[in-house]
Structure 1
Amino acid sequence: MGHDIARLHHVGHIVTDMTQATSLYERLGFRLPPPSCPAMPRREGAAPEPFGAANTHADFPGSFLELATCVTDGGTARLPADARLVPLEAPAEVLPVLVERIAETSAALAAYLDRFEGLHIAMFSSPAIDGAAARLTAAGVRHGGVNTVRRAAPTGAKVPVETVRYLEIDGTGPGNGPAAGHDGPAAVREGRVGVVADLDPDVQGARLLDHPNGAVELVGAVLCVADPELAAFRQRYGTYLGRTARQEGPAQVFDLEGAALTLVPASGLAALLPGERPAALPAFVAYTVAVRDLALTRDLLHRNGFPVRETPSGDVFVPADAALGAAVVFRCGPRRVVP
């Protein structure tokens, strides 16, 4: 019997300055489309101005990396010059609700940035999201239910509209502590965690997938927790994922399909990623991408001026203090075929 949560869908890197972040990611060897941002006129007859949240993705066949930031007061100073403004178009009776939701998203991003710049989002991919929602409910995990959003598919896809179905874990349940300081479903303490239906391979294949660093898939995320809380987090994520963790040194590892979530106590982080320290606890501190040729990737990083460290297992990584608060790990691995 298969699992209803299969792999990593995406991680979200929340940044202060999108221009700086996109430049850094391009130097890391990722290809990114111009960020997009909602826009609306501040007064009748005025030109649309950006507000809410801006984001862009580095895409792979079955997953992606998200860069996101909050945009306030119509400001564009921290958006790249090629940022794509998306005017809000909705019926009059729907527009206020849409604006409110975008404002809530922006407030959530601002709250994350108040905590630290870095990784605050981890979403898992499901081939059967309704079944996953039912299982989580039966296990006593609170969540916001399965939501559906639709957006224009990229040029070249066989369908004009991409449908995204997702749920977010509600952090107001036992063991999750206080809300993250924003309206809407409360995030768990480590950030926004949830489940998304598997990406459509046709739609995803129409995106920018050829990265100069040779990256082919998101294959890992690392969550660092206070030592006394490791057992509680292992139990919580075991419930979320419907899987049992295995011990690997000081860490607890949940093996997914071609990927893994690693829980590491604060005392063991330096053993896993030499030199790293968490900005806060609990916190997502690193993600791992598979690349075609690790030597070529390492050479690109050196040429672009990044410090490069090595893990005990032979992976290489750019430390968090050189990558806007998130350690970026590169591992040699084959391309995964997405069903």
Structure 2
Amino acid sequence: MASAGLIADVGGTNIRLGVIDYQSGEIRHIIKYRCSEFPGIEDAIRSYLNEVDEKLQEACIAIACPTGGDWIAMTNHSWAFSRSETKRNLGLESFNVINDFTANAMSIPTLSDKQKIQIGGGPADPLSPISVYGPGTGLGVAHLVNHQGRYIPISCEGGHADFSPISELEVELLSFLKGRFGRVSNERILSGPGLANIYEALCHIHQQPVQQYQPADVSAKGLSGEDSVCRQALAMFCQMMGSFGGNLALTLGAFGGVYIAGGVVGNFVDYFIASDFRNRFEEKGRFSRYCGKIPVYLITAEQPGLQGAAAYLRQELGYHLNAKSAK
């Protein structure tokens, strides 16, 4: 076994690569490429290896698509490849391919206190299950279980569970989106496109003209107060993030913590923390006190995907995971 391995975090736009030192857990030589610059993932990896000039025998790739079989086809990009062929072509002894939210889950045991912000609740129980979710292009969900010191990630498609409204306004929101999509999942609301969907629905409900806003426009104009409908959309987004997170906590008994990843919330962290998010997280009737004990953390690490791929690979090779690997 070599002393270091290759790690990568692959999204629809960019691929980030690095080298993980197995003993220290430190990640070095982080380089980002645009996926569009290469015909396939193998070409990007070869370019990276030529640039860093390291001979690596093991690899772990976190990628934004299903990873169950040998054939991997990206959801939001044209890259597709065979695990076995890529492993052979690159001369690797092992080639692990995991879902991007599996990587987010695996990053959690390595996070330092500086790489997360706690939003309410008590201390986390290190032996209890953990949930992680995050709005981006879609709504990712994964879980993590500590079994005798080994962390077992549980991949799922929880973002596609049915949206359940709480308030009368949310019932109207559901009715509008049901007319557009038929079935309404949480991803239709708790994502970048979902924020725009909330805005359009509120314009319809309030009989206001719809502006052609992108999700970033909705959040920016909501934060500035320039557009009152955008402001309301942002508030509702935070509230419904709380309800969904509380449901995850109840479903899994996530006393190890509920973690929020993804790019959307990072655009308005202070607003999110001050919003009704935590109230809605705990607003579970007879089980409000139960949820009140469960901590929520906002992941602020710059490279949680790479950190998680590194953690996954190190654990596969028998290394213990802890926050010392976080930089």
- Normalising TM by the smaller chain, what interval? under 0.3
TM-score, length of structure 1 as denominator length: 0.27
**Greater helix share, structure number:** 2
TM-score, length of structure 2 as denominator length: 0.28
Structure scoring higher RCO (CA < 8 A, sep ≥ 6) equals: 2
